[in-house]
Amino acid sequence: FLLRNLLKNATFQRQFVNRFADHLNSVFTSKTVETRIDKLYTNLIAEIPRHIERWQLSEKRWEEQVKLLYTFAKKRPAYLRTHLREMFDVGAERQIQLNTTSGGQVYVNERLVIENKTFFGTYFEKLPVQLRAVPHFGYRFSHWEGFAERELSRTLTIQLGEEKTKIYAIFEKFDHPLEGKVLLNEVSANNKKSGDWIEIFNYSEETVEVTDWVLTDLKNEFRLPAAEIAPNDYLVICQDSTR
């Protein structure tokens, strides 16, 4: 009852289908499920002869049932995508190939984490896919490749119009010129009295420009407006300046 009624909401419907696709592209790929069957088969095979003898069963039938599991693992994703296309207005299936260099991760729809490997996924024509690049310490995100022009934004929302889309996330080593000069001096998270806030301290002898700096965690991203920090001075970024 709850799911049927939630699916009447267009936003929830899009999230539901994309979440479904995320799982089909990760924990429920044919390869992943077949690997799981392999492991279970290996664990059980030594016990099967005694099991068959004890209950007067057929070894041939047991092997046939195991083959049936592999067939299910191989064919099930395609059937599920067909059901999604028939149930929802999602358009045709679209393939995405995502490659990442070393030095960072890419979050697909804020759920799947792709790092230093090639990711192959199947999504749908009418449902945008969100990508977010997160560099490791000592690196920075450079750009996306695979578009007519270089895309510099760390977060992308792409409509998969082509049958197959190839995207490359490029990270590069980076030693920031302000390393050793600016630090996060204090952090107050989930503070009921004051709200969240962060204090940045400039302990160098020069004024530091922090315009367009980005504060981010796994779910949020905030870009600083025009601002600078004087030598040996502080800047506080907060939810509520009055509190």
The CA dihedral of 68, 69, 71, 72, to the nearest 10 degrees, is: 120
- pLDDT averaged over the chain? 93
Q: Tokens for 61?
A: 């039938």
Question: What confidence category does residue 121 fall into, taking pLDDT thresholds of 50, 70 and 90?
Answer: very high
Contacts for 219-227: CB closer than 8 Å, 24+ residues apart: 219/110, 221/154, 221/155
Confidence (pLDDT) at 18: 96
N-term to C-term CA, the chain: 43
In the chain, % of residues over pLDDT 70: 100
Q: What is the pLDDT of residue 222?
A: 85
Global pTM value: 0.78
Tokens of 36: 């799981």
Mean pLDDT (whole number) for 122-129: 96
Residue 149 has pLDDT above 90, yes or no: no
pLDDT band at 214 (very low <50, low <70, confident <90, very high): confident
Using alpha carbons only, what angle is made at residue 151 by residues 145 and 154, rounded to the nearest 5 degrees? Answer: 105
- How distant, in Å, are the alpha carbons of 7, 16, 89, 132, 153 from that of 11? 9, 9, 13, 20, 24
pLDDT at 242 over 80: yes
What's residue 117's pLDDT? Answer: 84
Quote the pLDDT of residue 96: 96
42-91: pLDDT as tens digits: 999 999 999 999 999 999 999 999 999 999 999 999 999 999 999 999 99
Those residues with Cβ within 8 angstroms of residue 174's Cβ, 6 or more apart along the chain or in another chain:
135, 138, 139, 140
Banded pLDDT at 133 (limits 50, 70, 90): very high
Per-residue pLDDT at 137 exceeds 90:
no
- Mean pLDDT of the region 197-223: 88
Q: Would you state the pLDDT for residue 202?
A: 95
